[in-house]
Amino acid sequence: MATISSPLTPEAGKVVGEALQGALVDLIDLSLTAKQAHWNLIGHQFRSVHLQLDEVVSLARTHMDVMAERAIALGFNPDGRASTVASTSQLPHFDSGYIQDGKVVAGMTDILGGIVKRMRERVASTEQTDPVTQDLLIEATQDLEKQHWMWEAQR
């Protein structure tokens, strides 16, 4: 069966592949978590928070596709299956049931803060191994840090 050839050395490929797989899991789980809050939200700020959560979902879906397609373009198989996300994600999660708006604001700030921290490590690890990938990680980080600010600002 055919496989995709990579422009990277095996060593570089491994570092970059792990960075992309990590980002993929972060972003898929972010999209699911934001949707969970989008649906179960309660509180005076309902409408604002409800709409902003969908912006996060949209952002997460866009970048997850970029991460996974970048991985496969380098010959690294991305894994975005539910079980993989459930077992390897480092995101804290909301409890089931209603979620108060203030709790969502605090939770999203923390979740985004954690992802940003990991994304910056991925930006660092790909600087030498593949600047072409690094640029895509940087773009995702820009959007995530902007969202982090906007959630923290209304905390």
Interface positions, 34-93, toward a second copy (CB under 8 A): 35-36, 39-52, 61, 64-65, 68-74, 77-87, 89, 93
Would you say 22 or 134 has its CB closer to a second copy? 134
Please state the separation of Cα 151 from the chain's center in Å: 16
Strand partners, 41: 99
150 binds a second copy (CB under 8 A): yes
**Which residue is it, tokens 């797989």?**
21
- If binding is defined by CB under 8 A, does position 115 make contact with a second copy? no
Q: Strand, coil or helix: what is 5?
A: coil
The string over 36-61, giving b where at least 16 C-beta atoms fall within 10 Å of a residue's C-beta and e elsewhere, is bbbeebebebeeebbebbeebbebbe
Nearer to a second copy, 18 or 32 (CB): 32
Segment 2 to 21, residues that bind a second copy, using CB under 8 A: 2-5, 7
Would you say 23 or 85 has its CB closer to a second copy? 85
Interaction residues for a second copy, span 93-112 (CB under 8 A): 93-94, 96-98, 100
Helical H segments across 4-100, by residue range: 10-40, 46-73, 82-88
- Three-state secondary-structure class, residue 51: helix
Query: Does residue 131 touch a second copy according to CB under 8 A?
Result: yes
Pick from 13, 27, 29, 63 the residue near a second copy by CB under 8 A.
29
32 binds a second copy (CB under 8 A): yes
